[in-house]
Amino acid sequence: MSAPGLLSRRALLAAAAAGALAPRVAAAQVAARIAALGGAVTEILYRLGAGGRIVAVDTTSLYPPEALREKPNVGYLRALSAEGLLAQQPDLIIAAEGAGPPAVLAQLREAGLRVETVAEPPSPEGVLDKIATVGRLAGLEREAEALEAEVRARFTDLAARRARIARAARALVVLSIQGGRTVVGGAGSSADGILTLAGIANAAAGLEGFKPMTDEAIVAAAPDAVVMMQNGPEPPKRESIFAPGTALGQTPAAAQGRLVAMDGLYLLGFGPRTPEAATDLMRALYPDLPRD
């Protein structure tokens, strides 16, 4: 880094440290300026009525749409810069687990900023705990309790629907297909969590996390459906995903043309809309299941 750039960075850090000591000393005070890092964190804050207090978001904060449209974007959740965050002068940073790099979070804390992380377990309990944690950090415990009750009721309804499934379908959640490598969601991943909620067996349960799956393993797994993320205006195309000669093209999913595409944050974000996402996925794979 050049000398002027280094001086500028030091000046910014010094200014932030001078202006952010109060939140460290009085952490219990309600934060007026919040940096929301993580799609579910941002969504929860908006649902709690704190959208007006958000002064920065990251690129995963896709819902509600006005978050990225109206708020300064400080970059990708896992590749943040201290300068971008400090420039927005937040008095509280609420970050989803996995935000970083860790050195950047440490630098922000050293500058006097209050940085809090929120756990991201892909389960109903994890969603409810996330709502409670964000509500407590934002000083909106009462609003969080109301949202928790609403989301818990929807999870209960989902469980009742799931109990009606006689035979679980098998599905692969495909994160990406690049250079002949098919990356899927295995056990312990958010993909596995949403499949479980929707009453669907994970055909990649033999893997841990998001990992590449060999062609041979894909064919042997014999998924009844493939689930993918749609993060643009055009959904993945069946003729491409199930192209003849490919591993996915040799599965029961290809024979039945069962490709389900859903918004990535909605599908895997494990925020307040997760019961609806699981319900939509369930209906896609079990169209004959009663809706009441």
Tokens 């799609």 belong to which residue? 39
pLDDT in tens, 209-243: 999 999 999 999 999 999 999 977 888 999 999 99
- As given in the structure block, the two tokens for residue 65 are 């749409």
Mean pLDDT, rounded, for 128-155 = 98
Reply yes or no on whether the pLDDT at 188 is more than 60.
yes
**73: exposed, middle or buried (Cβ count in 10 Å: 0-12, 13-18, 19+):** middle
For CA atoms 8, 14, 19, 23, the dihedral sign is positive
User: ∠ at Cα 133 (70, 262), nearest 5°?
Assistant: 55
Q: Which pLDDT band, with edges at 50, 70 and 90, does 7 fall under?
A: very low
Reply yes or no on whether the pLDDT at 27 is more than 80.
no
Beta strands in 68-152 (DSSP E): 92-96, 115-118
* Higher-scoring residue by pLDDT: 27, 119: 119
* % residues pLDDT > 70 (the chain): 90
SS3 call for 276: helix
SS3 call for 208: strand
Domains of the chain, each with CATH number or no CATH: 3-153 (3.40.50.1980), 170-284 (3.40.50.1980)
Average pLDDT of the chain is: 92
Kindly report the pTM of this predicted structure. 0.88
Q: What is the pLDDT of residue 30?
A: 87
Reply yes or no on whether the pLDDT at 178 is more than 70.
yes
SS3 call for 166: coil
Which residue(s) pair with 109 in the sheet? Answer: none
pLDDT in tens, 67-96: 999 999 999 999 999 999 999 999 999 999
Residue type for position 16: A
* Higher-scoring residue by pLDDT: 18, 61: 61
